[in-house]
């Protein structure tokens, strides 16, 4: 049991509460996703014991290997997929995750459109926007987002709940958060998955409803 982890969780909780006060937002308008990728169940257990119930993983196989017993032992635990999803892993992902933050291309949207009704599960979907237009990064380009969101709904029958972004590491995140919020607003999407350990307070200022925080809780990977 790591005292460091609990310090991290408590500190992040305090900073979220402060950011919500500063932005005149209700604390419950922001969901903390504790990003547990690469950490073993031993490191996750104290965070579950402290009451945290929403976790993020970036790989389907890793999540499948470590989460099912933890979910059984801790009622109400929700898992969010925050990393890229291959179309051939959609069935597995839909069986395990409660939210997918990386809907970013027609082939994946089509596969989800088939797998979701078959699974009978309600899964929250976020379209990932590549706000920095970085060639190596996943996500739809900002200028393609409106058409993609409409196609998700009209062509593949998906309900998109919000947008996700990962700002370029070497740039100020605020303009990327603002752009993501603007695209969400004009598409009538209520949720914004944005903000990581280094910038979640800024993301909350710009309207984040879901912050994805890993190292500030669990330590360095």
Question: Under the rule (CB under 6 A), what is the footprint of ligand PLP?
Answer: 35, 37, 58, 82-83, 166, 196-197, 212-216
Nearer to ligand PLP among residue 199 and residue 205 (C-beta): 199
Determine phi and psi for 96, rounding to 5 degrees.
Answer: -105, -40
Which single residue brings its beta carbon nearest to ligand PLP?
214
Q: Rounded to whole angstroms, how far apart are CA atoms 21 and 2? A: 29
Shortest CB 120 distance to ligand PLP, Å: 27
Q: Which two tokens stand for residue 9?
A: 């969780």
Name the residue nearer to ligand PLP (CB basis): 85 or 158. Answer: 85
User: In angstroms, what is the minimal distance from the CB of 118 to ligand PLP?
Assistant: 27
Are 34 and 9 in contact, with CB atoms under 8 Å apart?
yes
Nearer to ligand PLP, 98 or 151 (CB): 98
Closest separation in Å from C-beta 49 to ligand PLP: 21
Minimum distance of ligand PLP from residue 212's CB (angstroms): 4
Residues 6+ apart with CB under 8 A from 127: 103, 104, 140, 145, 148, 149, 152, 160, 162, 163, 164
């Amino acid at each position: 049991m790591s005292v460091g982890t609990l310090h991290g969780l408590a500190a992040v909780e305090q900073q979220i509460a402060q950011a919500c006060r500063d932005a005149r937002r209700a604390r419950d308008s922001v969901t903390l996703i504790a990003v547990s990728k690469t950490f073993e169940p031993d490191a996750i257990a104290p965070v579950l014991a402290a009451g945290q119930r929403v976790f993020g993983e970036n790989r389907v196989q890793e999540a499948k290997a470590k989460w099912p017993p933890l979910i059984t032992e801790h009622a109400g635990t929700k898992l969010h997929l925050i990393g890229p999803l291959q179309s051939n892993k959609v069935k597995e992902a839909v069986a395990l995750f409660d939210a997918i933050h990386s809907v970013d291309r027609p082939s994946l949207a089509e596969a989800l459109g088939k797998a979701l009704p078959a699974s009978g599960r309600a899964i929250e979907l976020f379209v990932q926007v590549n706000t920095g237009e970085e060639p190596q990064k996943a996500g739809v380009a900002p200028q393609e987002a409106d058409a993609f969101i409409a196609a998700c709904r009209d062509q593949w029958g998906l309900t998109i709940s919000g947008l996700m972004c990962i700002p370029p590491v070497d740039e100020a995140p605020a303009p990327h958060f603002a752009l993501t919020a603007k695209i969400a607003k004009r598409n009538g999407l209520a949720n914004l998955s944005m903000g990581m350990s280094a910038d979640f307070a800024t993301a909350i200022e710009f309207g984040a409803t879901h912050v994805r925080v890993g190292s500030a809780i669990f330590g360095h990977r």
